[in-house]
Amino acid sequence: MRNQTRDALLLAIGGFALLSTGDSLVKTMAGEWPGPAIASLRYVVGTLGLSALLLWREGLAGFQFDRLGWHAVRGFGVAFSATTFFTAVQIMPFAAATAISFTSPMITALLAAALLGEPLRRETWIASIAAFAGVIVVLRPNFAAIGPAAVLPMFAALGMALLMIGNRAVLGRGSALAMQVNVAIFATLFLLVITVAGHFSGIAALHVGVPSWSVVGRSAMIALTGSGAHALIYMATSRAGAGTIAPMTYFQLIMAGFYGWLLFDEHPDLTALGGAAIIIAAGLYLWRAGRIIDEPQGTD
């Protein structure tokens, strides 16, 4: 059992490291292609590959869309998160954008209370207030430098929260692969609409020109690393449970800081690091509070 848990944690670390690797590739394309277009191409490639795998393993039965509305919510959440986060990492420090996006667990808890009627515990309020205080600290230098666009990672966190809420609503409605393909299909549709709208919006930064082969190749790599990351995280969860691997999520932030330093010469100041630490502490507090409630209580 100990070896199984160790293997699960290593798989999770690998998965979250791959996610940061893909995000770092997005940042290398700053000024070459807009974030929504990169997200669209990434999901077109990923959806085609995953759909082919699903067709081979489960046939047409794997493409059933039970509870269609919730699948649409999941797809919109992914599309909204990818668009805003890909744009954010192109215009602000990598680690700062990643840190702010880690408010997603707190936003998920708040939305679960509002949309699913789940109880809103005191711990949720404490974690949410602390996390958003951390966001304000991290935003301080970034807001001064780039203006309102610095809040884009918060929108990315909101998108991921919508995905989590949708996941709860469709739990058990298909295999893990089918659920991944279903959300990818809807995400791709929403992303294409967002990309086209941005192209015709008149905003120069959102104009979609013909991409270079380098951009196409890096977008395909983002699709590959993203799909690989989700597969590793799923395998980790199946071995040790979501509660055990949840803290490993923050390895993604460590990798973001490493890539920011190594590839983009970014050096967060102590204030930004302090804000990121507050966000991480809030997330771990909420996770710990949830585990205590979920654990069976002994009798005297």
Place of tokens 């597969």: 231
Give the integer Cα–Cα distance in Å for 97 and 30: 14
Round to whole Å and give the CA distance between 13 and 11: 5
The single residue listed with the structure tokens 């920011």 is: 260
Tokens, residue 69: 């509305």
Q: 78 is written with which tokens?
A: 């992914």
> What pLDDT, in 10s, does the model give residues 84-93?
999 999 999 9
Instruction: Quote the pLDDT of residue 139.
Output: 84
Alpha carbon of residue 85 to chain centroid:
8
Predicted confidence pLDDT, tens digits, the chain (300 residues): 567 788 888 999 999 999 999 999 999 999 999 999 999 999 999 999 999 999 999 999 888 878 888 989 999 999 999 999 999 999 999 999 999 999 988 898 888 888 878 788 888 889 999 999 999 898 877 777 778 888 999 999 999 999 888 888 887 788 888 888 999 999 999 999 999 999 999 999 899 999 999 999 999 999 999 989 988 888 887 787 766 787 888 889 999 999 999 999 998 888 888 999 999 999 898 888 775 444 433 333
What's residue 1's pLDDT?
Answer: 59
pLDDT, mean over the chain? 88
Cβ neighbors of 294 (< 8 A, separation 6 or more) are 243
Which pLDDT belongs to residue 300? 37
**What does the pLDDT read at residue 130?**
92
User: Exposed, middle or buried, 208 (CB in 10 Å: 0-12/13-18/19+)?
Assistant: middle
Residue type, 275: G
pTM, full prediction? 0.88
Q: Residue 25 has what pLDDT?
A: 96
The pLDDT, as a whole number, for residue 53 is: 94
Residue 296: the pLDDT is 37
**In the chain, domain spans:** 2-294
What confidence score (pLDDT) does residue 291 get?
Answer: 58
**Among 126, 82, 121, 120, residue whose Cα is nearest residue 101:** 82
DSSP string, the chain: -HHHHHHHHHHHHHHHHHHHHHHHHHHHTTTTS-HHHHHHHHHHHHHHHHHHHHHHHHGGGGG--SSHHHHHHHHHHHHHHHHHHHHHHHHS-HHHHHHHHTTHHHHHHHHHHHHS-----HHHHHHHHHHHHHHHHHHHHHHHHHGGGGGHHHHHHHHHHHHHHHHHHTTTSS-HHHHHHHHHHHHHHHHHHHHHHHHTT--GGG---PPPHHHHHHHHHHHHHHHHHHHHHHHHHHHH-HHHHGGGGGHHHHHHHHHHHHHH-----HHHHHHHHHHHHHHHHHHHHHHHHHSPPP--
Q: The tokens 């990923």 sit on which residue?
A: 46
> Can you state the angle between helices 176-199 and 35-58, rounded to 10 degrees?
150
Query: Quick one: pLDDT at residue 294?
Result: 43
